[in-house]
Amino acid sequence: MKNIFLTCCFGAISLGFAALPSAAQPRLGWAYQVDGLAAFQGDADLSDGGEFSASRAFLRATALYNLEGGSFIGLSTSFGKLDYDFSQSNNQPWENIRDLRVAVPMRFRASDTATVFVSPQIRWDYQSGASASDGRTYGVFAGIAWQLNERLTIGPAFGAFSQFDDGGTDFFPALLIDWDINDRWNLNTGSGIGATQGPGLTLSYTLTEAIDLSLTARSERIRFRLDGEGLAPDGVGEDKSIPVVLSVGYNPNPGVSLSVFAGAEFDGRLTLDDANGAEISRQSYETAPLVGLAFRVRF
């Protein structure tokens, strides 16, 4: 079976490591993984005039301690940057965004067929020039999945994350599925490196032992604290969209994976709130082209 705990996306692209039972159990003790991506969103017209583009880079390092029975506990740290380029100075709500994350992923067996996983996280999302502490949020992604047979693992999950300035808790449900439809086709869900809050779904096809194709769609949403200047000093920005991408993955050996992807972001929306949490601007953007590459190294 393929694994569904983490996927790689600026839009979305499958690049996971173990979270649910698999035929080949990992070696006991410490295991390490480094993965990252670079992606570019082309020009998209804004409803309030002008256009914008964006680029993103993300790098994550993970250490896992594998226990008997497929359980593990780990530590993951990551750094990302998201740079926006707006064509009109009077419609430029933000520019350079920083994204720091620390997570403690855990997995353990609840029974012979059920696996529970929990991943508490702390995040800092803020514009360059703002205080990182003002962009801090925290939360958890958790779920349980049952292995119904050799080909299908499925179960419910949820995410719960705090909001800026005691703005309540953002809660979203998700469905975990890892379904080997046949020896070549697989359907799975997940979220992970570069991914923001929201569920996703990936349909993949194994072309050869080293090459696979996949089509991924997911809901993406990122909120970040702004600096003390600009259109909303010390306010909050949000970028929300539904990216859909087609990717080609090359896996020369179990420790290395390389991927390239292309697609588009649909139903895009930028929202700007002031320092008191009142919305002062909301604008949609047209479908935007999306391209990028990703890598993963395990050792």
Decide if 143 contacts 156 (C-beta within 8 A). yes
Residues above pLDDT 90, as percent of the chain:
76
For residue 290, give both structure tokens.
């999306």
Q: What is the pTM of this model?
A: 0.86
128-150: per-residue pLDDT in tens? 999 999 999 999 999 999 999 99
What are the pLDDT digits (tens) for 220-245?
Answer: 889 999 999 989 999 999 999 999 99
Supply the mean pLDDT for the chain: 87
Mean pLDDT of 272-283: 92
